[in-house]
Amino acid sequence: MLGCWLRAAGCGASAGPQKEERRCPEQTIRLKKVSPYKGDTAVERILSLVRWFCRQLSLEELFAAAAIILEVLNDDRPDIKCKDSFRLEHPNYRKYDVDPDPPLTECPAPKRRQPDTDWKTLREIYRLNNGKDLQPVKRRDKSTSILNSIRCPHCNAPGKYIYYNDGKIRSQLRCKVCNTLSQTCYHQRPGKTDLWCPHCGSALYLWKKSEIITSYKCPSDNCPAYLAAKNKLNSKEQKLQNQKSSQFKLRYQWREYHFDPKYLVPASPQTSDIGRIDRIHAGSETLGLVLALNISYGLSARMTAHMLKNVFQISISHQTVLNYTYAAAVLCHQFNLHHKGPIDSRIAADETYIRILDRWNYTWFTIGTNSRAIHAYHVSDSRGTRDALISLKETLRTVPENIVIELIGDGNPAYDSAVHVINDEARKQNKVQPLQRRTVIGLKNEDSESAEYRQFKQIIERLNRTYKFHTRSRSGFKDFNGAVVLTALFVTHYNFLRPHSTLRYRCPVHLMDLDNIRTIQGRWNKILDMALDIAA
């Protein structure tokens, strides 16, 4: 094991082919694993760390460091914990989730406390201790008398046993039976916001504010949500919470997003010359073959040009293939938005990883669980709320009002935030909240909701694998627009041209204009003709 570490660092004496042959198989697999959360691979980060060790330490010190690492691996150093061990011991550390309940928009009425004891019982105790009955309040001024309908909040004694305790101010009452104070009117200090906690009724305070988001938080230490979240912490988390309280989400929070609607649109292909699709020199038949080979069959641009030359005797370059696909994608994107088809009552949403300029980017999909049609797609460089909101808004763009749709997705909190934004907008307009969130966590069914809806989550996972087949020949994209172009054309192929076995080998979105066309390149040309009519 020590030799493996030194060879990985480049400090060992051996070199050449023996370096790879003597590496532990488990270590080889671990070093080749790619992290989807960083721009660099895991092996690059580990090698960078090892190089830093070699620069800072001598050979003897490096042997000492390797010995300490072996002790950590053998669990002989409890004072040093790996990242995975820390996560297992602190499962709630930096665990963000979105509170499902929206805040109250009207100040809730103060809760009347239940009487602690019965006034008749206290009066009987007084009689036993003093040998006489407790008499009602003797009032010298009839204006100070209190109606019997007014009851003591602590013992429920009637008004004849209650008197004003603060003279002419008459805002404070004292009960002669239980000797406790209460107020004539319950006052609640108004908050600076117009939102109140749905769990305890406390006014939310402004916590954070930026250009796109305003966060509010509940300040009450007696809030049921806060107490329940605090009780979930284990003993180690409770100790860490005393030191790093901000790393645990315990209190109720609400976020208001301020996105500009004009930026909440899916990414669309860009090209400098849309009309070129009508006047290509090779003809429409060649264009249909290019789209059939490059998109429907997932060949690369160079392989498409090679097959056109050697099989169909059509000589074009791979750059021409790319130019044709770029021009066709602009029309197909508009065609996809126009022919979405009916939206299912249950949809699945997910995002998958793609490489653009050696960095991770993301493609978002929503798919109908019955029709198997892709309802929305979007390409982004982040997995935040804005991008989730774009895909969900595009999904709901053609949904009639008063229709509730079940959204099935993983535990990405961006979906929860996006659902709350959409439902909150509908609530403010007195409309039916259109989305109902269903969460499928992990790979195993550890809760009833995951077990019930996992079959629908698998549908979009299968879609992601189909999409990866079409992106694999690209070996990553050189620019963002290239990824958007392929995604738009893939959706056209998937919705209108690709037969689905679950649908008895019919396409998810049926178009009668394509029924009598037998070749796939002919269907591509027909779709482009229909797209030109839409653009006109």
pLDDT digits (tens, 9 = 90+) for 2-43: 444 434 444 433 333 333 333 443 344 343 444 444 445 667
Same domain, 321 and 287: yes
Task: Assess if residue 38 is contained within a domain.
Answer: yes
Same domain, 474 and 357: yes
- Domain stop point among 80, 109, 141: 80
Same domain, 32 and 53: yes
* Overall domain count for the chain: 4
CATH of the domain at 361: 3.30.420.10
Same domain, 398 and 491: no
Of 82 and 355, more confident: 355
Per-residue pLDDT tens digits for 426-469: 988 889 999 999 999 888 888 899 999 999 999 999 999 999 99
Task: Assess if residue 456 is contained within a domain.
Answer: yes
pLDDT of residue 306: 96
Same domain, 438 and 510: no
pLDDT of residue 190: 52
In angstroms, the CA 103 to CA 97 distance is 16
Same domain, 349 and 430: yes
In angstroms, the CA 281 to CA 320 distance is 11
Average pLDDT over residues 83-106: 77
Average pLDDT over residues 243-263: 88
Task: Assess if residue 233 is contained within a domain.
Answer: no
Same domain, 334 and 351: no
- Domain stop point among 142, 164, 183: 183
pLDDT of residue 172: 86
Q: How many CA atoms lie within 13 A of 290 on its CB side?
A: 30
Domain residues for 148?
A: 119-183
Task: Assess if residue 106 is contained within a domain.
Answer: no
What is the chain's percent helix, strand, coil content, to nearest 5? 45, 15, 40
Task: Assess if residue 250 is contained within a domain.
Answer: no
Task: Assess if residue 244 is contained within a domain.
Answer: no
Q: Tell me the pLDDT of the chain averaged across its residues.
A: 84
Same domain, 26 and 126: no
3-state secondary structure of 521: helix
Same domain, 391 and 466: yes
Same domain, 353 and 398: yes
Q: If pLDDT is split at 50, 70 and 90, which confidence band does 279 have?
A: low
| Least-confidence region, from 96-105, 328-337, 399-408 | 96-105
In terms of Cβ atoms closer than 10 Å to its own Cβ (0-12, 13-18, 19+), residue 167 is exposed
Task: Assess if residue 95 is contained within a domain.
Answer: no
Same domain, 130 and 152: yes
Task: Assess if residue 352 is contained within a domain.
Answer: yes
In terms of Cβ atoms closer than 10 Å to its own Cβ (0-12, 13-18, 19+), residue 180 is middle
Same domain, 419 and 511: no
Average pLDDT over residues 81-109: 77
Q: If pLDDT is split at 50, 70 and 90, which confidence band does 126 have?
A: confident
- Domain stop point among 132, 166, 183: 183
pLDDT > 70 in the chain, percent:
87
